[in-house]
Amino acid sequence: MFMKQSYLDLIELFSSASLGRELSLNNDVNLVEIFELANNANIWPIVFSAIKQSKIKIEKDTFSVLDKTVKFNIASYNARCQNVHKVIEKLEDENINVIVLKGETFSFLYHDKMFRTSSDTDLLIDAKDENKATKIMADLGLEIEKKSAVSHHTRCNSKKCGLIELHTDIYEDYIDSLYFNNFKITKDNLIYVEANDGFKLKTLSPTDGLYFNTFHFIKHFLSKGCGLKQLMDLILYISHYKNEIDFDSYINEMKKLNFDTLIITALGIGIKYFKFDKSDLFEISYDDKKVDSMLNDIIEGGAFGNGEKERKGFNDEFLKHKLKDDYISYKMKFNKNFFKKSASFKLSNIYSKYQYAKKNKLLIPIAYIHHIWYIVSKSFKRIFTKKEEINFEITEKRIHLMEELNILKKD
């Protein structure tokens, strides 16, 4: 498959900086295209760190603006992380077990961890501690958003901390059931990794972390798409923990779920394009054509597929192909369960949706009126809102890729 030169240049800049290897560019780089692609993939700080070490010619004023912007963004990110660390400390002080998922816990895998930034923070706690944790976070000045009926996490926001997603489970039940056959990821044998400021982050064991990282990658790939950073996270993780991972068992589990070809192809990208040494990974045999197709899809989609807005309806089309005759019954069951949970008048649901009622019991009657209005407006919205049109060219291209990777069976 044809690979655009700007794609190849982006990959070389990104991978050389991530792995700390020598940059190999033998052509003039279209900096405007690289800038756009890297921003879409949320990897510009990493890419710019490689550009700074290269012989790529940039006008002095342009370089100065880019350099100052990256430095400012990194400084802001580090300040945000330090504030998040204070939140974690406060939760731990109140005997809440806090596990940090992805994000900062992957930074140390990169050659220069300072440039691997994240847009949010994911914390995993026990379900029994959810109300206690959200109250503490509200007291610390974070705004607690209304929680979806089928969601496993609560979104907590503040200017100082950014977005913190407070999880009570790894994934929603329907995601676990639909894609991963209710695979059990445990909280056993937790480990600590060091953040940029020296703060110790508690995270999943190498084995459980591998499955979480893999499933997170797959979940987004099957939705609108994953990003280059997610892919690099996964490959660096496997490389770093190689001696602690039972790769045969891992691939066998992926095979049961029809994701073994996807993972082998992802590692193939690592070897062919990111230039990982084969000895850094496991012995695999990959298909060049599939590697090229998958990499093109990842670059074109940007971070989480947001680079192509037309991908928004892809997951629904994917499910039609995956579930076939069972698709309608699945959607009816999902919508029924969603509405049942969402429309519930249980006090716990009212507290979850309307935080002001939790803070002040006198406002509970108002919250119930609010909830009735929510149900009515939600029903009208479902009936009268026009669904976004699907881009069939992009959808069919991605469906074909899923068939190439043996995730879907060919019709």
- Selected residue with higher pLDDT from 149 and 268: 268
Using a pLDDT cut of 90, give the percent of the chain over it: 62
Would residue 369 count as lying in a domain? yes
Query: Residue 359's pLDDT band (boundaries 50, 70, 90)?
Result: confident
> β-pairing, 120-124 with 162-167?
parallel
Would residue 350 count as lying in a domain? yes
Examine the pLDDT at 387 and tell me if it is beyond 60. no
Q: Which pLDDT score is estimated for 386?
A: 52
As a whole number, mean pLDDT of residues 124-133 equals: 94
Would residue 18 count as lying in a domain? no
Examine the pLDDT at 12 and tell me if it is beyond 90. yes
Would residue 40 count as lying in a domain? no
100 contacts: CB under 8 Å, gap ≥ 6: 88, 121, 122, 123, 124, 201, 202, 203
Would residue 365 count as lying in a domain? yes
Would residue 231 count as lying in a domain? no
Using a pLDDT cut of 70, give the percent of the chain over it: 93
Cβ atoms of 96 and 131 within 8 Å: the answer is no
Instruction: Give the predicted TM-score (pTM) of the model.
Output: 0.86
Q: Which pLDDT score is estimated for 146?
A: 77
Examine the pLDDT at 155 and tell me if it is beyond 80. yes
* Burial (Cβ within 10 Å: 0-12, 13-18, ≥19) of residue 77: buried
Would residue 192 count as lying in a domain? yes
How many domains does the chain fold into?
2
- Name the residue among 52, 49, 55 with its Cα closest to residue 28: 55
- Selected residue with higher pLDDT from 396 and 345: 396
Q: How far is residue 102's CA from residue 167's CA, in Å, rounded to a whole number? A: 13
Query: Residue 410's pLDDT band (boundaries 50, 70, 90)?
Result: confident
Would residue 104 count as lying in a domain? yes
As a whole number, mean pLDDT of residues 290-319 equals: 87
Residue 132: CATH number of its domain = 3.30.460.40
Give tens-digit pLDDT for 157-211: 999 999 999 999 887 777 878 889 889 899 999 999 999 899 999 999 999 999 9
Q: Which pLDDT score is estimated for 398?
A: 94
Examine the pLDDT at 383 and tell me if it is beyond 60. no
Residue type, 341: K
Query: In the listed set 189, 204, 219, which residue is the last one of a domain according to the structure?
Result: 204
Examine the pLDDT at 150 and tell me if it is beyond 70. no
Q: In what helix (H) or strand (E) does residue 227 lie, and over which residues does it extend?
A: none
Q: What is the DSSP letter of 189?
A: S
User: In terms of residue numbers, what domain contains 150?
Assistant: 96-204
Query: Residue 389's pLDDT band (boundaries 50, 70, 90)?
Result: low
Give tens-digit pLDDT for 223-240: 888 999 999 999 999 999
Give tens-digit pLDDT for 43-76: 999 999 999 988 888 999 999 999 999 999 999 9
Q: Which pLDDT score is estimated for 384?
A: 52
Cβ atoms of 397 and 282 within 8 Å: the answer is no
Least confident of 91-95, 140-144, 264-268, 354-358: 354-358
Examine the pLDDT at 378 and tell me if it is beyond 80. no
